[in-house]
Amino acid sequence: MLIDLAHFTPGLSLTGGLIIGLAAAVLVLFNGRIAGISGIFGGLLSLPRNDIGWRFAFVAGLIGAPVIAGLLGKPAVADIEANWSVVLVAGFLVGLGTRYASGCTSGHGVCGLSRGSVRSLVATLIFMAAGFLTVFVQRHLIGG
C-alpha cells in the first residue's frame, strides 16, 4: 500500500473527528437530539415543526463553515470525477438509503455507536461494506 504523504493529515483528521464528536455530544446533552444529518435536514422538509430554528442553524453551519474557510484561506475543493447526472443519481440513492436505514452515517456511526445501539452497529457495518464494495467494483471491475 502506498500512502500519499502530501495528503496524509492525521492531525487535522483527529482534530476534525474530535470537533464532530464534541458537537454531537453538545447537541444531545443540551437539546436531547441526535446529530444525524439526514434526520436534521429531513426535519426541515416536514413542516410544520416547532424545532425548525436549531435545524436551520445546524444546516447553515454545515454550508457556511466551508464557505467561511474558503474566504479565510485556500478553499477546499473536492475532486469529483463524475458528471452532474451521476452525482444527482448518487445523491438520490444516498437519500433513499438513509430513509430505509432510519438514519445516515453521522446518526448511526457517530451518535448511535457511542450510545451502544446494536441497530446502529448493523447499519454502520452495512454502510461501510457498501462503500468498500462500491470502490472495489468501480476501481477493479469497471476500471474507473
Burial class (CB in 10 A: 0-12, 13-18, 19+), 21: middle
Q: How far apart are the first and last CA of the chain?
A: 19
Residue 144 has pLDDT above 60, yes or no: no
pLDDT category of residue 133 using cuts at 50, 70 and 90: very high
Note the pLDDT tens digit of each residue in 17-28.
Answer: 899 899 889 988
Percent of the chain with pLDDT over 90: 19
Nearest partner of 115 among 52, 28, 55, judged by Cα: 28
Note the pLDDT tens digit of each residue in 30-85.
Answer: 988 888 888 888 888 886 678 888 889 989 998 998 888 888 887 767 778 788 99
Report how far residue 133's alpha carbon sits from residue 126's, in angstroms, rounded to the nearest whole number.
10
Q: For residue 14, what pLDDT is reported?
A: 92
Residue 37 contacts residue 105 (beta carbons within 8 Å): no
Q: For residue 69, what pLDDT is reported?
A: 84
Q: For residue 13, what pLDDT is reported?
A: 86
Burial class (CB in 10 A: 0-12, 13-18, 19+), 97: middle
The pTM of the full predicted model, rounded to 2 decimals, is 0.71
Residue 98 has pLDDT above 70, yes or no: yes
Residue 134 has pLDDT above 60, yes or no: yes
Q: For residue 125, what pLDDT is reported?
A: 93
Task: Tell me the angle at which helices 84-100 and 37-45 cross, rounded to the nearest 10 degrees.
Answer: 90
C-alpha cell at 41: 435536514
- The residue ranges of every structural domain in the chain are 12-142
Report how far residue 9's alpha carbon sits from residue 27's, in angstroms, rounded to the nearest whole number.
27
